[in-house]
Amino acid sequence: MKNRCISIIFTLFSVFLFTNNTFSQNNDIIEKPNLKLDSDLITPEVLWSFGRVSDIQLSPDKKTLLFGVTYYSVKQNKGNRELYTIDIKSKKMTQLTKTPFSEFNAVWRPDGKKIGFISSESGSLQIWEMNPDGTGKVKISDVEGGVTGFKYSPDQTKILFTHEVPKPTTQDIYPDLDKTTGRILTDVMYRHWDEWVDSYSHVFVEDYKNGKVENAVDIMKGEPYESPMKPFGGMEQITFTPDSKAVVYTCRKKVGLEYSLSTNSDLYLYDIESGKTRNLTKGMMGYDTNPVFSPDGKLLAWESMKRDGYESDKNRLFVMNMETGEKKDYTADFDQNAHSLVWTDDGKEIYFTSEYHGTIEIYKLRLKNGKIVKITEGVHNYGTVIPNGKTLIATRTSMSMPAEIYSVNAKNGKAEQLSFVNKDILDQLTMGRVEARWITTTDNKKMLTWIIYPPHFDPNKKYPALLYCQGGPQSMVSQFWSYRWNFQIMAANGYVIVAPNRRGLPGFGTEWNEEISGDYGGQNMKDYFSAIDSMKKVSFIDENRLGAVGASYGGFSVYWLAGHHQGRFKAFIAHDGIFNLEQQYVETDELWFANWDLGGPFWEKNNKIAQRSYANSPHKFVDKWDTPIMVIHSAKDYRILDSQGFSAFDAAIIKHVPAKMLWFPDENHWILKPQNGVLWQREFFKWLDKWLK
């Protein structure tokens, strides 16, 4: 469940599906709202008015940035994504598209004379091209069933695209039963994340000439596997070689139970001329993803995990010599993760991002001596990084600001803001102060805890406080900006937020990160108590008005705390949480997670780690529940089924504990639709205000 409950990175195809999930010819174009606020405090409606910047691309001449911005309409209950450019020198921002169809996967053609993108304007998702100024839009693909992503070859002679290849259906087996709704299941992984597995994403390569494409070839023909990997993989998992003669793609070539038990993905090289495929990472047992070639094609860098079945293993930076096959881990002595790798133009250095002490910073690897240098420092999260000579182009967020685009000095890390998509709204708001505190834990270690204060904070007043329980479970409490678990909107409602980086989170070394596996209900729960007990002694916090909230593993944490808090809290909210660990083991889609984190199945009576995990299942402590609790869950959450939420809610009602349930029939592990998001926020604070104010 790593990174499942807090949305940091979506594939753009997923964003498209959630923002424009019908191909209607609705001419009510969703645009940037012109807001004049009556208050300087953020509300759910204001939160859904922010433009969401994503997928920045630097032009071949290094002068112009291409990116998308998504705006949402609560009234229409959907969003729309348009394309923009920024001239780096003048900072002038130009809107390229204005349609009701959501354009995504926008990239520069290698010669810089065209921009390619995907749109449903013709009725299905197809590849389009336009001039860099937004004129001359032309559809260049006509793939039955549409495409989900694409890339140009460096020599501009080919295009690769991804397309969903359907699996055989019950009607294929029994043609005379054309109206049956029955599904025949023979193995697990029939559902994944939020959908039934009815198709596989395959990679296709086709010729591209004079603005036309033809002769598409499925390079995975007949294989029951997917690339990119679901549920979060995107086009970053697939690339052309710099000579345009081959494609490297990420794939976990397993099915059914084997797929559910394993994280062993590999990088496969497909030779376009011969049609032959070879495994580049054979024998490397964890996740191997996101291949990026050096400009001369001699070296291949990628992100690699060591252990099969452990999705939160250290993410290493590996480099392969394509001539000799020699592989080297450049992060062997770097006790952090490496993400979003990108080469410099001379092929001598690789930039990447990494979690560090509650922030995400930019780092640089010098291949010549293997030295890793930290470039940035501050209270922020950096996302996409693109080298541009002496500067870097990057997206940046904080708990007080959604993503914007920055130019970063590659030597000293000094940043200059390039985009100001949300300046008009931010200028009307007062944000709460964000403070880092290092709190001593029960085992005498130091734990970074973010404290977010209400706007217009008065130290002479007493405030209710919320303990924020992080999900993942191994996802750092960083400087993320969330459209649901947004700390500033919690603070704007008059709460002090206590957000600890408890045991089991990255950014504080491998040992700290791994202390949660096999220890649910252990030290990480004591860390929660350390955080809230430390803060409730502060003069401006009312220790009689404390709440605890969280999602996914954070929801599990809330359920567990409800049976162990000894009167500390007066209200709880659990979103998509695990209530019954035994039930979770046989319900979840990705068994590797349950095996690694819980230690194995509950029927292994001699498995001490597993038995300790199941002994800490929250449902076994319902007899101690005595505090009002709100449960939120969704029907399309196949990671943690909604039966977990209903069970917790029913248990509270049976126990005569004040309880409320908010259930969404059309959401997954997140809440993605505007009106559902607003409802979520309203009910969230309605419940907390009832018991804490």
**Residues acting as catalytic residues:** 552, 637, 669
Output the CA–CA distances (angstroms, integers) from residue 449 to 89, 441, 476, 501, 635, in the order listed.
39, 11, 11, 6, 33
Rounded to 10°, the helix 553-562/523-535 angle is 70
Distance of alpha carbon 73 from alpha carbon 78, whole angstroms: 6
Rounded to 10°, the helix 591-598/608-615 angle is 100
- Residue ranges of the alpha helices (H) in 5-142? 12-19, 44-47
Angle at 633 (CA atoms; ends 287, 622), nearest 5 degrees: 100
Distance of alpha carbon 338 from alpha carbon 331, whole angstroms: 8
Helix (H, G, I), strand (E, B) or coil at 233: coil
Helix (H, G, I), strand (E, B) or coil at 329: strand
Q: Omega of the bond prior to 455 within 30 degrees of 0, cis?
A: no
Output the CA–CA distances (angstroms, integers) from residue 8 to 54, 477, 516, in the order listed.
11, 11, 21
Rg (CA), the chain: 25
For residue 446, the 8-state DSSP code is E
Distance of alpha carbon 373 from alpha carbon 351, whole angstroms: 9
Strands 446-452 and 541-551: unpaired
Q: Is 574 exposed, middle or buried (0-12, 13-18, 19+ CB in 10 A)?
A: buried
Q: Omega of the bond prior to 228 within 30 degrees of 0, cis?
A: yes
For residue 433, the 8-state DSSP code is P
Helix H or strand E encompassing 585: helix 581-587
Contacts of 44 (CB under 8 A, 6+ apart): 489, 677, 678, 681, 682
Helix (H, G, I), strand (E, B) or coil at 9: coil
Distance of alpha carbon 388 from alpha carbon 406, whole angstroms: 12
